[in-house]
Structure 1
């Protein structure tokens, strides 16, 4: 009831007032030039004008790239929905449910009692899927369309698009009255605002507007490494990451000021909430953040009382998110929550227990080990007590990186390119734009200064040295955070979206008088900065031209035929199973119940997916059929690509199943049997005409081909993924 009350308050205006309060506090910090824009310039208005310009520029850039890649404005409603592949389509489906419901609250109740996503279970998707962005956007959309309809202002323009090639014409609508267009427009506006924050962040951290310019240009020159919002707008990071930038900016402010005021802590807490609510991965980023803060604290760069206040803000925001997500157990049993408790305990008890220790380095090691082992122990203890295994795959993924651990769930992640190690070409690309060399110089200077003050503190306790070290605490924090992001990005390539923007922020420090004041006495700062930017532009402009030259138009006729067939030929309550990306599209566009989906962060869902993917194993067909019928599946969408797709060695579905099911290793995979022989226990129910003719050809000559050749040859002749729907009868 508490969560429902908070959710209801959001619609009534509390959510918007909270956001306005956070932004007002943020504005107060910026206006207070003595505290915020330290030594930047007295012309605050110019800083904001440039920040707004950077935001508008980024909004135009990502909007143009998205339109060039998809030709989104000329797609039909179905094509736009199909363009939201995998989990993007799953998230967008809840936005669609709310806006199409009779009222906002009936839509919210529908997604809180969802019967379509994991049939036959009824789940609260607000608890499971971080869907508050969709709830907020749906409320905005309903308000917008209601107001515009009341005023008699048209919100969209529709026309008929002739697609040629014998395809039927489709209706395409453009304008904010179109749900998909409204949805992506808000995302792009938010990420335009993010670039404004980056400019202010770089300006504040470096103490110069040149630093803001360096940050923004580095981001643009390395745009493909910084973000993927222009290709995949509905992903959780698109909603969440801008608030991490705000949170880091506020945290930098807090680390610089001598004492924390209540307003800054509230603003930090609100930004934490807005960062955590949209994205389940946010807790791992905040874990690295508080670990970096703890390291800065035990080295003496910030006072323990200040860190305790920061931790209190984190704890409050974690508790609020736990309530708003209806008791999502992954939050309270996370490494992040455990780390907050352990660090608070260390800060409280360390001065008492270790007060007689004279060797400061020894104390640092003891406290560091206490944090590491305490966090791991407390996390596993809470998971054991609450019986939570939803995040067990995270530990297994890390084990796979270090000791080669393999199981079905781990391989489903690590076989995807985005969960592989960082590409060797990535540091090369950083180097070509001079981003990496510049940041290495900045990082080296910070580390040199830090080591100097640490060594001095071990032999002296003068007040001057202590005060001097406190002034550089935020720089040491950023250096440690850079190390943490680097480790994450090296282990999991997808996480370079944290590393690259942080590199851009660190690059702004090339303009910092705190670090390079001695050099600026010899060389004009503007001369040095513009020389660096000129060299960066050589490769950076080439990267931008490459992005601008990407031209395409979304089309997926086989999937369109599939979805249209499902709408016409199956009951509304027919239950489907199949590959995770396809299931998201089936749920979104046909509103049919599905038993599995791409949101893989739940132990029960991972077990269901394993049953569904047994269609591509070497198990007996009778066993697979029996397991699918237990799930209530009526139709199975079989995709040829999963039979033989092999992104890298050991990553085809039969090879993955050989790890999970060694008892059946060496047997013929089940799925080629189905495609080649129309296996007698499972009847293919639908094939598009082009695919059917392809299969008929192979059936007529199957004596000359083995089953794996049969499956592979179908893909080669048809030119796209062979897809059939298999009807299961009890």
Structure 2
């Protein structure tokens, strides 16, 4: 059933992708253009290695790349998380698949296959938590039918998270196995290496994996300070996380951003604090334990910040991640600088705003959110009850906490509780709460929360112990077989309701046939390939430049992978083509970066989609301290002395013709040669 659920999801994603683009019928350039924004940049390296004369030359060109940031040689394997593209290209060439499958289909089918495994992992996690195969089907169905809020793989195939999430949820499944209280030694010996592999692959394939691992490490810290999982097991997981990050750091030629990640500062801090807790906070009693909880949390956060900021970043001088912290400070109103260009690029995007309420409406329509809310709330209440029992009630002598073996639970009270002997469920309860807070604060990360919804909602509905306690509270005396029958009947009923509600719209979507249509971009790419030298360097918006590199192979001066300080500074300079600057100033900036052609997009120059203050031209004006059109003048703002470059250049005035010559134009793009 796990295989059937996963393969159904993989087939659905593949079919929707085909139906939306008519992918099998469009030209190769159109297929490449369909890899929008940064996905096109990542796919270009797969294409580059597949088409290289030899594998060794292809790898050399990746390590010594002078096309991605023209005028500068960079190591692609160090800067970007593209090992998945390297592996796929090597497999394609070494397995001699050229006559069997086209490179693009080999690539996209691999991603859809991984997402089939993702659903299998959710099935397995639910089955382990509930003991019901029917609950596994329900969680898979929740994930599939709520795809608007659980995945976006069908239209962001090459996005880093599309590669990373399957390994993340495989890791979640393995953690569920690992935290089982009666884990057999042989099973543990098999689980730990698999945990290492999945955590490593997750970290290797996504540049933001470190932040997901940080939240996971914090959730594990919560489990440790609440004594719901043996500290020894939690230490092992922390070591796996740290080892994976360090291994990725080596694979990425000692990438400094990985070394300076907060999670690598949190883990040693947490391990020290937990050791301190085991030695000091051993007394029972609610006031003592609550004081210890607050003190432990405070100490670990302070230790993490001090270790990261004043030790690691002093030794390893880097500010590659400063834009992320500026974004976080701005998002939560902790920064007085509202003119940070990099932070505003994120803050102005809907994806980085708070989770909209219509998300909960959609999830409720397809049943998952109401069930999840009830199950998770009840689980949190039971967790609280369990912890309070543990804090208040004397327990039998369990010895030194450091000596608990892997098969032992923490010394919880002997009073009955749903979570007393289920540390794996306690972990999921805390983890879902942590990732729920992240998702509510930042829309883009809802995909780290909604699969938790699917698992907990399905597991809660079919949980055997829950039904036993519920029926006992209702004074219904049922045999074990009748309890099993009751929970399966209810689970099957919810599954039937879900199919009745969601299946018609899914079938209707499958029957909706569309076709890729972007003639202006196709015309631009074909013109570039035909009319410009292979050495010509292009400047434009980050998103468009990724497409130019993929479709034409021409050098570009900027791109959407924004995790480098020099690139961010370069992008701010090059975006002066959308500012109000003298043409001579713009020309000097472009020549400093050896730009041959600039591509101006009318959709940016005359943008109306974003609110005032969030249009790209507004952000450029803000950086230049110019008065923003449609906004109140700030204390530092000055009236611009020149017209907006992207608009005024159309006039063909002598001061523009002196530096720029229009060589291509259609309804969407204008291309100028830089003299």
TM-score with structure 2 setting the length = 0.88
The within-5 A match list for 1:333-412 is 333-352=260-279, 359-381=288-310, 382-403=312-333, 405=335, 406=338, 407-412=340-345
Cα distance between partner residues in 2 of 1:371 and 1:604: 33
Q: Which residue of 1 aligns with 2:368?
A: 435
Greater shift after overlay, 572-581 or 474-483? 474-483
How far 1:520 sits from its partner (Å)?
A: 5.5
CA gap of 1:680–1:237, structure 2 versus 1, over 3 A, is same
- For residues 641-674 of structure 1, the C-alpha deviation after alignment (integer angstroms, 9 at most, x for no partner) is 1112132232122321232221565433221111
Contact (CA 8 Å) 1:252, 1:474: kept in 2 or not? yes
Classify the secondary structure of the residue corresponding to 2:332.
Answer: helix
The within-5 A match list for 1:50-89 is 50-89=1-40
CA gap of 1:674–1:384, structure 2 versus 1, over 3 A, is farther
Residue number among 451, 457, 460 corresponding to 1:507 in the alignment: 457
Q: Which residue of 2 aligns with 1:478?
A: 428
Classify the secondary structure of the residue corresponding to 1:118.
Answer: coil
Contact (CA 8 Å) 1:308, 1:347: kept in 2 or not? no
How far 1:490 sits from its partner (Å)?
A: 1.8
The within-5 A match list for 1:284-683 is 284-352=211-279, 359-381=288-310, 382-403=312-333, 405=335, 406=338, 407-463=340-396, 465-466=412-413, 470-509=420-459, 510-519=461-470, 522=476, 524-545=486-507, 547-646=509-608, 647-663=610-626, 665-667=638-640, 668-677=643-652, 679-683=656-660
Cα distance between partner residues in 1 of 2:86 and 2:240: 25
Cα distance between partner residues in 2 of 1:303 and 1:466: 15
How far 1:349 sits from its partner (Å)?
A: 3.0
Q: Which residue of 1 aligns with 2:634?
A: none
Cα distance between partner residues in 1 of 2:94 and 2:545: 31
How far 1:584 sits from its partner (Å)?
A: 0.8
Cα distance between partner residues in 2 of 1:311 and 1:613: 42
- For residues 329-364 of structure 1, the C-alpha deviation after alignment (integer angstroms, 9 at most, x for no partner) is 111101111111211121233334556796011111
Contact (CA 8 Å) 1:482, 1:499: kept in 2 or not? yes
Contact (CA 8 Å) 1:222, 1:543: kept in 2 or not? no
CA gap of 1:676–1:384, structure 2 versus 1, over 3 A, is farther
Contact (CA 8 Å) 1:119, 1:593: kept in 2 or not? yes
In structure 2, runs of 5+ residues without a counterpart are 397-410, 477-482, 628-637
Cα distance between partner residues in 1 of 2:420 and 2:248: 32
- For residues 464-483 of structure 1, the C-alpha deviation after alignment (integer angstroms, 9 at most, x for no partner) is 74476552322222122112
Q: Which residue of 2 aligns with 1:701?
A: none
In structure 1, runs of 5+ residues without a counterpart are 1-49, 156-175, 692-717
- For residues 612-637 of structure 1, the C-alpha deviation after alignment (integer angstroms, 9 at most, x for no partner) is 11111123222222112111111111
How far 1:262 sits from its partner (Å)?
A: 4.1
Classify the secondary structure of the residue corresponding to 1:462.
Answer: coil
Contact (CA 8 Å) 2:260, 2:313: kept in 1 or not? yes
Greater shift after overlay, 654-663 or 309-318? 654-663
Contact (CA 8 Å) 2:372, 2:453: kept in 1 or not? yes
Cα distance between partner residues in 1 of 2:501 and 2:346: 33
Contact (CA 8 Å) 1:445, 1:515: kept in 2 or not? no
Contact (CA 8 Å) 1:51, 1:196: kept in 2 or not? yes
The within-5 A match list for 1:155-234 is 155=100, 176=101, 178-234=102-158
Cα distance between partner residues in 1 of 2:431 and 2:392: 27
Contact (CA 8 Å) 1:644, 1:652: kept in 2 or not? no
Contact (CA 8 Å) 2:386, 2:420: kept in 1 or not? no
CA gap of 1:436–1:680, structure 2 versus 1, over 3 A, is same
The within-5 A match list for 1:250-265 is 250-258=174-182, 261-265=188-192
How far 1:677 sits from its partner (Å)?
A: 4.0
Aligned residues: 622
Classify the secondary structure of the residue corresponding to 2:657.
Answer: coil
Cα distance between partner residues in 2 of 1:232 and 1:477: 30
How far 1:400 sits from its partner (Å)?
A: 2.3
Cα distance between partner residues in 1 of 2:250 and 2:466: 44
CA gap of 1:686–1:78, structure 2 versus 1, over 3 A, is same
Classify the secondary structure of the residue corresponding to 1:726.
Answer: strand
CA gap of 1:546–1:228, structure 2 versus 1, over 3 A, is farther
Cα distance between partner residues in 2 of 1:242 and 1:83: 23
Cα distance between partner residues in 2 of 1:677 and 1:57: 57
Contact (CA 8 Å) 1:621, 1:681: kept in 2 or not? no
Classify the secondary structure of the residue corresponding to 2:599.
Answer: strand
